[in-house]
Each structure stands twice: as structure tokens, then as C-alpha cells.
Amino acid sequence: MPEHTSFITHLVLAHMKETLAANASALGDTFVNGHPPTWQGFEPLVTSLFIAVILVIAALVVRSRLAEPDKAVVPDESLTLRTFAEVFLDYFYTLAKDVMDAKRAKKYFPLIATSACFVFVANVMALLPGFPIATTSLGITLGTALVVFILFNFWGIKENGIGYLKHLAGPAWYLAPLVFPIELISLFVRPVTLAFRLMLNMAVDHLLLAIFMGFLTVLLPLPVMLLGCIVVLVQTLVFTLLTCIYIGLATEHEEHH
């Protein structure tokens, strides 16, 4: 995708462009298309940090409300940040319980909830004109997917030990030379499919919105923006659901396979 230029680029990165340009040139050409990187290419990384700050502030606000016993028990009458967080997180916690048991859902929910929140906020920013979109960058989506990949494999080995690797070899030893390479390829393809699915869907959605915004600023983009809202929800659900499935499969005990 082309490098975006949003308010972060002009208000923040532009003041450090000489330093960023020097660092970008030291990294070498880009991996995908072989183009030399520019200082604007740091925008997705800065945007991700911006999203992290938003999530931390939101979490502190919600936690402060829950810390007060009277306010924690009684739900808010209107839609507030607290009620939205409760509904949002409860939905994905229920999803995790449906994929795996309640004990594992609670144990691994910090990663599941963090993934859901990050992807959702990053996708919502695609609907706001002038805002940067971190999830249209392959580097960000692949980095997010690799965090999930590393952790679910770590948890799988921690829970099952050598049984986790034995499961990749198939049900019978004589099938291992055939099954193990296939399972290994399938395992390492998971973060790639997670990253590309999210990046391509959000990039296409953002591109369509930008095209229609150029035709008519007020009325014509509305159907595309409604479609964008659906894309935001669906992509958040798909990424989180696959995260739950991968964790569930990796941490399921050997005798249950």
C-alpha cells in the first residue's frame, strides 16, 4: 500500500524527518516491493503507539469506575465508555469460552482482549477522515499476528510438552514423514494469513472510501461508510476468532485430540 500522510505525519513526524530518513535508509529496501523506505513509512508504527496510548487511557478510566463499589455494581443508564467496554469484552470472552473451556478462556483472555481492542480501534480509525490506519500496513498486521503465533505455540508447548510436537506428526508414526511437513507448513502459514487477511480487507475498504469521497464529499460516501462499519466489525471478529481457535488447538491436552 502507498504510504499515508495524515495529521500524525504532518504534526509529529515532519519535525523529525531528517532523523527518520537516516534511520529508514539504514534499514535498506522494503521486503515486499524492494523500494527504498522513506521517513513517512514510520507512520504506522507511530499510529500503533498512539492506539496503545488510547487503550491504556480507556482502561484506566474504566478501571477507576469499577474501583468504586457503588458505581461498579450499578450499570450506567446511557452508553458510556464503561458500558461499551463491558459489552465488547463480554462478547469476546463468551466467544473464547465457546471455542475453549472457561478455564482456558479466562487464562488466555488478556491476549484475546488486547488483540480485539487493538484491531477494533485501528479499524475504526479508517472511518475517520484524515486519521492514519495502522492495519493497512503489512508490518503492523504481521507483527500483531506474530505475537499471537509466538504465544500460542509457547502456551502449547508449556501445556503439552513434547506432546504438542507429537500432535504435528499425526496419529501414527508411519505417517509422520508425510503429515509432519504438512502440519508444520500449516502452522507457519497461520500468522501470514492473519496478517494478509486483515491488511488487504482494511486497505481495500479505505481505498474505496477515499475514491467515493473524491466523487461527492457529503452523500455518496455514506453507503461505503456503512459498509466500512461492517468491515470493521467483521475483521475484528475474524481476527479474534482465529486467535481463540489457534490458542484452543495449541493448549488442548493431548488426550483430547
- The domains of the chain are located at 7-256
Low-confidence residues of the chain: pLDDT under 50: 1-2, 256-257
- Select from 48, 60, 112 the least CA-distant residue to 241: 112
- The residue type at 207: L
- Cα distance from N-terminal residue to C-terminal residue, the chain: 41
Grid cell in block for residue 44: 504506522
Give the C-alpha separation, 218 to 63, whole Å: 38
pLDDT by residue (tens digit) across 131-184?
A: 778 888 888 899 999 999 999 999 999 988 888 888 888 777 777 888 888 989
pTM above 0.85, yes or no: no
The CA–CA distances, whole Å, from 189 to 65, 182, 195, 226 equal 42, 11, 10, 32
DSSP 220: T
